[in-house]
Every structure is written in structure tokens, then in C-alpha cells.
Structure 1
Amino acid sequence: MTTYHLMRKTLRSSLCALMLAMVAIPASADVRIKDIASFEGVRENHLIGYGLVVGLQGTGDKLNSSPFTRESIRGMLERLGVANLDSATLKTTNTAAVMVTAKLPPFARRGSPIDVTVSSLGDAGSLRGGTLLITPLTAADGEVYAVAQGAVAASGFLAQGNAQSVVEGVPTIARIANGAIVEREIEFSLFQLDSIRIALHTPDFTTADRVRQAIADELGSSQVEVLDSGTIEVWVGGKENAPQTIMAVENLMVAPDAVARVVIDEKSGTIVMGANVRIAQVAISQGGLTVRVRENYNVSQPGPVSLGGDTTVIADGSISIGGTTVIVPETEIDITEKDASFTILDGDVSLQELVNGLNAIGVGARQTIAILQAIKAAGALHADLEII
């Protein structure tokens, strides 16, 4: 029996054993509502600003190729009292223009510190060792909500010389822990709410109903209703009870449901599948053509030099006595074609059983991806196939 026929027999045996041992899919694990949903008004807000990082050791922006850095330096110095400065005379390489981003936490109060991220905007080589100058951070409404300043901490580094350079990580991105101070608060209060809306991270009617049922068991069925697949509304007894209602609801346990989905990353050959993925009855034939190319190099060495050998006068006037060493390439091409045969899978086969059977005969991730795509095209894969 050939190796291929033995592998095919192993595949059929493995699939049969797996189908006979098939058990019910286990239920999803219970999780807290706070881990699969968010509450209305309890959210972060993005902030952004433009600033300068100074004190770099010659790794800042080149002012000839970064005119915005030059103008920012000139404007900053003029505000600090250095007037009548010709920006064309600026030659510094210790300053870099950066974008500063941060997230304003929910219910952040005036004076609270927040972390910021500093990213190079020009052609600076590294932000390591620099200091961010005072930078206002604005939100989408154009208002300033925080001000950032402080020494930056870059995780990467840049070491370079005249002929070689070494870069580790990304030295043009840095962070400042507690680098910004909140100057304006978001005008929102939970005590203004008569009801609280819960937004599921992954909208699903089944999950929404399970959340409703869990809240109804805790607060009463008249206090909660499902608005759509991603929103559940909870009514509070009084405006002063909104925080207490959230605390009572967020730790309730539910079992989230999800649609059957197969996610494929073709770049890395990664396959991620959900527990509810099923495959209908289908016949699979997988074969291929393998081409192997081998390159061998042989050296043709001339005999020993003797006065009686061939004498050649080269163009530069030198004389070559004897033969010349020659490298002779040899190419071997071997083509192997594997006969394809069909394997029939009965209905209601899980994707895990199919993958285990393919693994038993050594089918790689790339071939498995091709098989899954073909099964989906044939209408036998009962799941969403998402390729990223």
C-alpha cells in the first residue's frame, strides 16, 4: 500500500471515529454584563494636540524638510519674548514636531492626571530623552479639556554611525505617564437619567434577551426591555438610584451567544472558528502538483600549471598560463503529482472534526484554507466566512 493511500485511509478512519464520538457543543461560559456591554454615558473621549519635543541629542526634525517644525519653533520663541527671529537661520536638530493623543476617562474631574501618547510628525529619528512642551489637548468639539507636558519615555532606541544604524522598536513613539492634567469636565451626570441604556459590544438578539432576563430576575420584569439587538433599557426607580442600578446590573452573569463564524488570516495561515460552525454533507477531493527544483554547482578545476600548457595574453598585458577554473551549474527538476480522490463527509459534521481529519494526513493550514473556501462556495459551510 502506498503512503498516499495509507494517508487517505487514515483520514477516513479519523473522520469516522470523530463523528461517532461527536458530543453536544458545550454552552458558552457565563460572563459579567460589564464585560460584554457598555453603559450609556460611561465612555471615554479622544483628545488630540500638536506640540514640540525638545532636548533631543541630534535626532530631531531636519528643518529643511520639516518647515512646520521651523515655524512652530519661531512662533513659540516669539510668544516667550524672542522677537524679530529669522526662521531661515534656525539650524537646530534637537527639536521634533509631534502629535499628542490621549483618552479622557469617564467622569474625569478637573485636576486629574491622564496618560498621553507622543508620536513624531516629521522626520525625527528618535524621541528618546526629549521633553514635551506644554500642549493643549482638544476634543471633537474644539474645546481644550487637558494640557500635556513632561519628559517622554520611548520604548525603542536608535544607534547609528557613518556606515550602519540599528533600530530597536519604534523610537518615534513615546508615552508620558500622567503627562496631562484635566482642565475641563464633561457635563454629564448619571442623576439626570430616568433610565439606563446598555449597549452590547456584539449585537445579538439572543444575548440581548438573556441580559434582559438576568436583569428582570434581579430588578423585576417591568424595569427592563429590549429595544433592539444591541440595546437594552433599564428603568430606575428614581434619579438618585441610577448609580446603584448600574452597580446592581453590571455584575450579573449571562451566557452570550454569537453567530457561527470562521475567520481566516491568509497572510499568516491562521484559522479561528466558532463553536456553532457546522458542515453539511459534502464530498472533498484535495490533490496537488509538487515541483522541486534543485541547484547544484560543480567546479571544473584545470590541471597543474606547466610550461607546456596554454599561454594566453590578457588585454592588460599580463600572461595567463594553463587553464581557468569554471563553475558549472546543474539544475534538477522533479515533478510529483498526487492523484486526487473524494472523501465524503456525512451531514452535521463540525468544523473541528474536519480540521482534525485533515491534520491527520498532514494537510497544512494553506490547503485547509483552500478547502474551507471551496466548501463555503459549495453552500455546505453553515457559517460566515470572514477573510482578513
Structure 2
Amino acid sequence: MRAMTPSLRSFRGRAALAVLALGAALLVPLHSAHAVRIKEIAAVQGVRNNQLVGYGLVVGLDGTGDQTTQTPFTTQSLNAMLQQMGVTVPPGTTMQLRNVAAVMVTAVLPPFAVPGQAIDVNVSSMGNAKSLRGGTLVATPLKGADGQIYALAQGNLVVGGAGASAGGSKVQINHLSAGRIPEGATVEREVATPLQQGEVLSLGLSAADFDTARQVAHTINRAKGEGTAQALDGRVVRVRMPAQGNTDARVAFLADIENLQVELARPAAKVVLNARTGSVVMNEAVTLGACAVAHGSLSVTINTTPMVSQPAPLSQGQTVVTQKSDITISQQGGALVQLPAGTKLADVVKALNLLGATPQDLLAILQAMKTAGALNAELEVI
């Protein structure tokens, strides 16, 4: 056998080391899969959206507006608007306007919005208007919770629907009594934020958890120095900011903090039940103890058959139609099914699938398991 050259031995040695390194990397648990950025689980308290609302009129409709006899507030609003413009309507005048609709206008004022910035608005009919398609919103002030005007909305509506009616038939696609005006409002007032105020800021966690608050504080202290952050409780982490007045330093400081990686602990076991839709959602921490479940179903069937009673000839009687109802009750017995203990979500799902129950039945089964102490999770019904 021919001896290997030094270069070939070196190449094969490096290849073997690469394979071993790859295998070792695959065996190491990927902690980053459970790590999230601080911006995804926390936000600066006081830096948030603000809801705005206003009342206005939509004009220019093609006969699909409010019926003013049934919605008198539309006529009153129109009279008030005309008086502000110097037009006086004679008293007692009955206006039958089918091209005007009273609407409610809503918008969201984002944080750090400045005067002159454009924001989107939603417009919804308040009366009995059939459609807002083709309408124009007249200048409408939008107010915040404190009653101050923060934006002014006006523009043409975009309605994502269509409809037609003829000969007593009507076809409609989507919703016609609500629309949207992209960038339809202009910000007129700025909302103060605590970003440049005081020496400390508070980070509010999206979900209260003492371990998460502690991890956030430790992560910030490792990156920015000990004593920078302190967890006050399971929801709030207080952070010491750079010197007041140094805007660039504060913005850079928060940008660095938001992108820090935090290792999250295993969440609390929880099962969410939606009684209206029958949906069941559970997280990965749900475990199941060994138990036995018997499941059966009860069904009631009602069949109605029309019966005709025909009178004899020349008896001057009337034909009578009656209903005969047959009620049947059937019950399917359920065998006792033993469910093994499951320490993983996949085991819990496999065990519940053995029952063959519908989602509605599963709601009652999970509640019974919780009462019996076999379901190690918190039940939340929405």
C-alpha cells in the first residue's frame, strides 16, 4: 500500500475534525431558540398609542345615505355645519337628504407623532345609511380621552365592498357601511412622552412574570453596568438613563437595550378554552397525569311528518293538515379509556386523540380532568 503524503494526511485530519465539530454542535442545545429580544416582551411605559374619536358627516353619496326622518341627528348636524358656514336654514324646513350620512371617525395616534404627520382613519356609519361608497368625509376634529383635539380628518372614503339591487333582489359583497381613509387625518397636537423626562424609565413587561423581570434586569446590568436596571415586581423593570438633555445618548441607550437577548424560563402551563367556537389551545408546559376517562354521547332526533285529514264528500267539512312528531333518543355508551401520563405536549395530544371526542366534548373532559387532578395546567375559558 502506498504511503499517504503529508498534505493528504493533513487534509484528512482537518476533515475529521470538522465532522467531529459538526456533531458536537448538533448535540449542544440551542439556547438561542428560547431567547427573545427585550423589545418583544417589554415596552417603555408612557410610550404608547392613543385612541382618537370624532363625529362627522359624509357627503356625496349616491342616494345611499341616512333616511333623515329616522335619524334626526343627521339633519341637526347638517344644520349646525351650515350655520357655521353662514347658511341659515328657515325654521320648520324638512330636509330629505339621501346623500348625507352621520359617521363615527376613529384613529390611532402613534407615539412620537408630531404636528403635520398624517395618520389613517376609520369611518363607520351611525345611522341607517345603505352604503358609504363614493362619499367624502367633511373636516372632523378628532379628540383624545382628555377632550383635546389632536388631529383633523377629511378625505374620500375607500370602501372594500360592492352591492347591487334590482326587482326586489339584492346582492352585497363585504361590508358597505364602514370605510377607511389612508392618511386621512393630520396631527395637530403632540403628546408628551417620558423619554426625555427624569433620570429613570420603566420597562413594562407584556406578561407579569417574576423570573422574566429578573432576567431582563440581569441582562441590562451585564451589558450596561451593575445597578443600571432593577426589577420592581413581576411587571416593571426600572432602568437608569443617561444624563437628562442628552437626546442622542438616550435614544442610543434604548436602542441597545431593546436588542439585548433574554433567556426566557418555561412558561406556566395553561389551557385556553373557547366555549363559543369549541377551540382548545395549550402551551408546551401542559402535562397529563395517568387517568381513566369514559366518554359517551347522547343525541335527540325529532322527525315531523305532515298528516292530511280529508272530510267525507258532501259533509261540508274542511281539509285539515296536522303534524305528527316522532322523538327518538339514542345514547352511545363510551368505553373506559386509560390515558397514560404524558410529560410532553405531543403525549398529551396523543392521549386526548384516543378519546375520539369532538372539540365541544373536549371542553367538558378537560374541565373534569382538572377537577380530578390529572391535568397539570391552568384552565382559562374565554
Provide the TM-score with structure 2 as the length reference. 0.81
CA contact (8 A) 1:223 1:234 kept: yes
Pairing of 1:64-75 with structure 2 (within 5 A): 64-75=69-80
Choose from 268, 272, 275 the match for 2:284.
275
1:258-316: CA deviation from partner (whole Å, max 9, x where unpaired): 32110011222211001111223333222334566778999xxxxxxxxxxxx956979
Decide which moves more: 198-207 or 335-344.
335-344
Q: AA paired with 1:288?
A: S
CA–CA separation in structure 1 for the residues paired with 2:187 and 2:339: 65
Aligned to 2:250: 242
**Contact 1:31–1:255 under 8 Å retained in 2:** yes
Q: 1:201 to 1:139 in 2, by over 3 A?
A: same
Matching residue within 214, 220, 225 for 1:220 = 225
In structure 1, runs of 5+ residues without a counterpart are: 1-23, 299-310, 317-325
The answer to whether the Cα contact below 8 Å between 2:273 and 2:380 also exists between their aligned partners in 1 is yes
CA distance in 2, matches of 1:144, 1:345: 62
Distance across 2 between alignment mates of 1:254 and 1:358: 34
Matched, 1:354 2:363: no
2:274 is matched by which residue type in structure 1?
D
* Counterpart residue number, 2:155: 150
Q: Secondary structure of the residue that 1:217 maps to in structure 2?
A: helix
TM-score by length of 1: 0.79
2:377 counterpart residue number: 383
What SS does the corresponding residue of 2:232 show, helix, strand or coil? strand
1:169 matches 2:174: yes
Structure 2 CA distance for partners of 1:130 and 1:370, relative to 1, 3 Å? same
Q: Deviations over 1:154-195 (max 9, x none)?
A: 112332335232232221111100101111112336222311
- Judge conservation of contact 1:61–1:95 (CA < 8 Å) in 2: yes
Query: What CA deviation, in whole Å up to 9, does each residue of 1:312-340 have, x standing for no partner?
Result: 56979xxxxxxxxx999896958353253
> Following the alignment from structure 1 to structure 2, what is the Cα–Cα distance between the partners of residues 84 and 95?
16
Shift of 1:227: 0.8
User: What residue is the counterpart of 1:338 in the other structure?
Assistant: 333
Q: CA deviation at 1:78?
A: 1.4
Q: Quick check: 1:76 aligned with 2:81? A: yes
How far apart are 1:209 and its partner, in Å? 1.4
The percent of aligned pairs where both chains have the same amino acid is 39
Using the TM superposition, give the Cα deviation of residue 143 of structure 1 relative to its aligned residue in structure 2, in angstroms.
1.2
Distance 2:184 2:83 in 1: 25
Distance 2:351 2:193 in 1: 56
Does the CA contact (< 8 Å) of 2:295 and 2:357 recur in 1? no
Per-residue deviation at 1:352? 4.0
Specify the alignment match of 2:7 in structure 1: none
**Cross-structure match for 1:6:** none
Report how far residue 27 of structure 1 moved: 9.1
Q: CA deviation at 1:65?
A: 1.1
Partner of 1:284: 293
**Partner Cα distance (2:145, 2:178) in 1:** 23
Q: Is the CA contact (8 Å cut-off) linking 1:28 and 1:255 kept in structure 2?
A: no
The 5 A counterparts of 1:307-326 are none
Counterpart pick for 2:67 among 62, 68, 74: 62
C-alpha separation in 1, matches of 2:301 and 2:79: 64
Structure 2 CA distance for aligned equivalents of residues 265 and 46 of structure 1: 28
Give the counterpart letter for 2:377 in structure 1.
Answer: A
Contact 2:47 2:194 in 1 (8 A): no
Find the partner of 1:252 among 250, 257, 260.
260
Where 1:119 maps in the other structure, the secondary structure is: strand
In structure 1, C-alpha distance between the alignment counterparts of 2:328 and 2:306, rounded to whole Å? 15
| Aligned-partner Cα distance in 2 for 1:384–1:189 | 37
The code of the aligned residue for 1:353 comes to D
Name which structure has the greater RCO, CA cutoff 8 Å, separation 6+: 1
Q: Summarize the alignment of residues 187-226 of structure 1 with structure 2, pairs less than 5 Å apart.
A: 187-188=192-193, 190-226=195-231
**Which position in structure 1 is the counterpart of 2:367?**
373
| Structure 1: distance between partners of 2:49 and 2:329 | 61
Unaligned runs of 5+ in 2: 1-28
Q: CA deviation at 1:142?
A: 1.3
In the TM superposition, residue 368 of structure 1 has moved relative to its aligned partner by 2.1
Contact kept, 8 Å, 1:215 with 1:252, in 2: the verdict is yes
Change (3 A) 1:330 1:119: closer
Supply the distance in 1 between the matched residues of 2:295 and 2:194 (Cα, whole angstroms).
62
Larger displacement relative to structure 2 (78-87 or 35-44): 78-87
Hey, what's the Cα distance between the residues in 2 that align with 1:386 and 1:360? 23
Cα separation, 2, equivalents of 1:90 and 1:297? 54
* 8 Å contact from structure 1 (residues 195, 242) kept in 2: no
Whether the 8 Å contact between 1:153 and 1:174 is mirrored in structure 2 is yes
Is the 2:120–2:182 contact (alpha carbons within 8 Å) kept by the matching residues of 1? Answer: yes
Q: Work out whether residues 56 and 138 of structure 2, in 8 Å CA contact, stay in contact via their aligned partners in 1.
A: yes
Give aligned pairs, total.
344
Could you report, residue by residue, the CA deviation over 1:38-87 in whole angstroms, capped at 9, with x for unpaired residues?
A: 11232111111111000111111111111111100111111112114336
